[in-house]
Amino acid sequence: MLERRLVWLSAIAAVLYAAAFLHRSPSALRTVVKTAAVGALAVIAYLADVPWLLAAGLALSAVGDAFLAGDPDRWLPAGLGAFLLAHLLYIWFFLETGLGLASFAASPVRLAGAVAVFVLAAGMLAWLWRSLGAMRLAVSVYVGAIAVMVAASFTLPAPLWPAALGAVLFMLSDAVLSVELFKGLKSRVAAHAVWALYYLGQFAIGWAFVR
């Protein structure tokens, strides 16, 4: 019963943030609503009989959401740091839960997917490079981490496919966000796409293991 209520809390917070707070100036209420969306998922994972790494990854993501709900000029580095740690925990979790790196040798589809992820990540980084300035090293590390995270999700057994889909959606969200932040190509549609892809990605990762 508690888990069901937390699912509703997460979903309502996600929709409320998109509908009422996404384009507002930073505030305490905006931060609370945004953080609650994935924070509730972290609590669900903690209460479920799954490895702690999943709950910790979701919790760190919620911390990243809290930072990014504020002024990006001030809190972007802290937000990137929180999400970087979340990706590292997801990598650990996926590799521990999955079929191992040998699964790439056994499945051309998995291998092709992983190669495509790294090619796309490298291409995105190259395109952004001149716009990154002092953030080049931090963004490079972050892009590498999320690419490895997505590739690691491809080692999961087939029944856990929602987690791999969620990892891909997470990466797509970050790609759109990076264009907004570093290329200045901002729009209301892009902002909603970032949030929708991100939240659905996190929800899918959690749902794969808690359903």
**For residue 24, which phi and psi values (nearest 5 degrees)?**
-85, 160
Count of domains forming the chain: 1
CA distance 43 to 98: 23
Structural domain range at position 144: 2-210
The predicted model gives 37-41 an average pLDDT of: 97
Pair 17, 195: CB distance under 8 Å? yes
pLDDT tens digit sequence for 138-195: 999 999 999 999 999 999 999 999 999 999 999 999 999 999 888 888 888 999 999 9
pLDDT tens digit sequence for 63-120: 999 999 987 778 888 998 999 999 999 999 999 999 998 999 999 999 999 999 999 9
pTM above 0.85, yes or no: yes
pLDDT tens digit sequence for 49-77: 899 999 999 999 999 999 999 877 788 88
Q: Looking up tokens 């580095």, which residue turns up?
A: 77
All residues at 6 or more sequence positions from 27 whose CB lies less than 8 Å from its CB, including other chains: none
